[in-house]
Amino acid sequence: MSAGSSDAGDLTAVRAVDLLIEARWVVPVEPHGVVLDAHAVVVDGGCIVAVLPIADARKQFSPRERVVLDEHALMPGLVNGHVHNPMTLMRGLADDLALMPWLQEHVWPAESRVVGPEFVRDGVELAIAEMIRGGTTCCNENYFFPDVQAATYRRFGFRARIGLPVIEFPTAWASSRDEYFEKALEVHDSLRGQPLLGTSFAPHAPYTVSNESFERIQLLSNQLDLPVHLHLHETASEITDSLRDFGMRPFARIKQLGLINERLIAVHMTQITEAEIADCAANGVSIVHNVESNMKLLSGFCPAEAIRRGGVNLAIGTDGCASNNDLDMFGEMRTAALVGKMIANDATALDAATILRAATLGSARAVGWNELIGSIEPGKQADLAAVRLDDIETQPIYNVISQLIYAAGRHQVSDVWIAGQQKLRDRQLTDIDTVEVVAKARRWRERIAAA
């Protein structure tokens, strides 16, 4: 990789720009399935100005910096559609358990002992470092202390949709329903105008949130035009319990409360029916597929191909590190593709280009930012990831997109930019002290293990 100015020549005929990235392949995602050979992405002011052949780019633009990626695929930064990033500090704490024992007997008790501003800050720092090294440039966050999360994401220049938590029992963040809503609105107001940050309402799940809270969320979501980020139809027992307690499935209850609309980000959906798929498609709901977490907790299988074919926007997420146990979107894409074929009983289901689209433009659409990110197009933010494909493990290359999904790994991500700012350069994080991040994680391990 090298940096410098553009070719010598008639500089009066060329446009000065911040950055010219020359790649062996550019995978723009839009148009679907396209791979551009020997193309350049031109960036200025944090935005993509042009995507064109390298020879033409050198004639038309004079960059302050040029980056040459002659063995790489340049793709949009991955968008992780559902995370609990402070929980990176609980990675491996309680493995090989079903969802409710894992949650009620291990995670919630541990959180009650240690969750606070410092835990959230240090967990998010660790997550940001991991995500950037894995080519992820944006996440859809769902955890407590959203104010601390936002400050941490902002400090490192990472793009995030911050969930404003609502749950019916007291936590370290809030002690009552009114306090959850008061704090949510305070955090939302404080983040107005932040270029890389946004908010959503994050009611935990139908089994932990009341009708009264859902009604309030629906009203505020409409007024503020905010997404609603909700765990929904995660397990079979969730359906059974809802039928017993409410006389209807959770989806029907949420629909009755006015939340089945284009702002709903429905996470998991392992128990969705054909009729519910049609309802989601008709109302613009996005569904976030978290295949590895669902497998590990034996929550069920989301019929992702049926959802996609039904016209629903499909996104990809990892879930939190306490249940996955990583933020590896490359691994998540590969698993989603393979498991999706088994569920659909169709080898052509969830092909490589479709999975890549779900993890980029699909997730961007879910969080409401598909006009900003998710594809490499002029006018969009320059959130980009470069993947080296000259390793033994990714040779020979017949189909670049297939190679990204079925053979490449996050360790091959070499360079990452968010809004045109380089966050990873030749595998090195540019503004994160990795020694300190690891030291903090080890201190939290000692504290949590002792507790």
pLDDT of residue 450: 86
CATH superfamily of the 11-76+382-419 domain: Urease, subunit C, domain 1 (2.30.40.10)
Q: For domain 78-366, which architecture applies?
A: Alpha-Beta Barrel (3.20)
pLDDT of residue 451: 78
- Of 376, 47, 296, 122, the closest CA to residue 130 belongs to 122
User: Vertex 412, ends 151 and 385: CA angle to 5°?
Assistant: 50
Residue type, 2: S
* Spatial contact of 45 and 92, defined as CB atoms under 8 Å apart: no
Q: Report the C-alpha gap between 91 and 442 in whole angstroms.
A: 12
51-60 contacts: CB < 8 A, separation 24 or more?
A: 51/26, 51/376, 51/377, 51/378, 54/22, 57/20, 57/22, 58/6, 58/7, 58/20, 59/7, 59/9, 59/14, 60/14, 60/15
Cβ-based neighbour number of residue 349 at 10 Å = 19
Per-residue b or e along 107-136, where b marks 16 or more CB atoms closer than 10 Å to that residue's CB: beebbeeebebebbbbbbbbbbbbbbbbbb
Category of 83 on φ-ψ map: left (φ > 0), alpha (ψ -120 to 50) or beta:
beta
pLDDT of the chain along its 451 residues, tens only?
A: 334 333 444 445 799 999 999 999 999 999 999 999 999 999 999 999 999 999 999 999 999 999 999 999 999 999 999 999 999 999 999 999 998 999 899 998 999 999 999 999 999 999 999 999 999 999 999 999 999 999 999 999 999 999 999 999 999 999 999 999 999 999 999 999 999 999 999 999 999 999 999 999 999 999 999 999 999 999 999 999 999 999 999 999 999 999 999 999 999 999 999 999 999 999 999 999 999 999 999 999 999 999 999 999 999 999 999 999 999 999 999 999 999 999 999 999 999 999 999 999 999 999 999 999 999 999 999 999 999 999 999 999 999 999 999 999 999 999 999 999 999 999 999 999 999 999 999 999 999 988 7
Decide whether 11-76+382-419 matches 78-366 in CATH topology.
Answer: no
Helices assigned H by DSSP within 379-432: 400-406
Tell me the two tokens of residue 140. Answer: 């859809």
* Spatial contact of 82 and 142, defined as CB atoms under 8 Å apart: yes
pLDDT of residue 252: 98
Give residue limits of the domains in the chain.
Answer: 11-76+382-419, 78-366
Q: Report the C-alpha gap between 430 and 307 in whole angstroms.
A: 39
Q: Report the C-alpha gap between 411 and 399 in whole angstroms.
A: 20
- Of 236, 231, 234, the closest CA to residue 265 belongs to 231
pTM: 0.96
What is the DSSP secondary-structure string of 48-114? EEEEEEHHHHHHHEEEEEEEEEEEEEEEEPEEEEEE-GGGGGGTTSS-S--HHHIIIIIIHHHHHHH
